[in-house]
Amino acid sequence: MQLTAKELKAYYKEIVSMVEEQKDYLCELDRKIGDGDHGVTMSIGWQAVNEKLDNELVDEEDCAKVSITVGKTFLSAVGSSVGPLYATGFMRGAKAVKGKTVLEDKDLAEFWIAFARGIKERGQAEVGDKTMVDTLDPFANELETKFTESGEFLSAFTDAVAAAKVGMESTKELVSKRGRSSRLGDRSVGAQDPGATSAYMILATFLNFVQAKTEQAI
């Protein structure tokens, strides 16, 4: 498959809408184990991205430049917590597709693997710490394995998103080891991690986007 810069920007717009729809749910999850602001934080970041998409990015044809602006904008709007994590993710993704106006299967696989691994590296969390890494690490591993086998992005990404979902759901049973929620210790068990949840939603939104695009083409 091919993804143009215009389509990539349309996908980022889909995240903006998805975050607005899920804002309350993400805050509700965060109230159980954190300070209850995750949905609001994500909304602030993506609204800032939306403003760039509507203005300075309108004519941008370079997929890497689009993603760099998304990362930098999210970071300056959000600052701490998830700000540096998503910024690193999108900027590492951008580095993997440097100078490209159209992304092919291999570019897309490399973009998403770099995105997920970049966040893991930046956050220094491991699987089992009850963070977004519980979603992103199995996702990246599955994507790499399946894409290496088939060379086909959509099927590999579909399997990777399924692995991400299992990872996200696994956070319900985990004791938080990172950030504010780690102070709760065993009391954090039973609540799904909000960061793991929004990370899954960002991946699932891309899957829906490329599936819809593929169906339109048939």
- Contacting positions for Mg ion (CB under 5 A): 30, 34-35, 37-38
Describe the chain by its helix, strand, coil percentages, rounded to 5: 75, 0, 20
Burial of 99 (0-12, 13-18, 19+ CB in 10 A): exposed
Q: Which residue is nearest to Mg ion (CB)?
A: 34
Contacts (Cβ under 8 Å, ≥6 apart) of 9: 53, 57, 60, 66
Phi/psi of residue 121, each to 5°? -65, -45
Q: How far is the CB of 17 from Mg ion (least distance, A)?
A: 22
Q: How far is the CB of 40 from Mg ion (least distance, A)?
A: 9
Distance from CA of residue 129 to its chain's centroid? 18
Phi/psi of residue 4, each to 5°? -85, 170
- Distance separating alpha carbons of residues 210 and 114, to the nearest angstrom: 19
- Distance separating alpha carbons of residues 19 and 151, to the nearest angstrom: 31
Q: Would you say 18 or 33 has its CB closer to Mg ion?
A: 33
Q: Would you say 138 or 195 has its CB closer to Mg ion?
A: 195
Q: How far is the CB of 30 from Mg ion (least distance, A)?
A: 5
Let me know: does 62 contact 47? Beta carbons within 8 Å.
no
Q: How far is the CB of 51 from Mg ion (least distance, A)?
A: 23
Q: Would you say 36 or 128 has its CB closer to Mg ion?
A: 36
Let me know: does 201 contact 20? Beta carbons within 8 Å.
no
Q: How far is the CB of 121 from Mg ion (least distance, A)?
A: 22
Q: Would you say 80 or 216 has its CB closer to Mg ion?
A: 80
Q: Would you say 34 or 118 has its CB closer to Mg ion?
A: 34
Strand, helix or coil for residue 199: helix
Q: Would you say 27 or 66 has its CB closer to Mg ion?
A: 27
Q: How far is the CB of 149 from Mg ion (least distance, A)?
A: 38
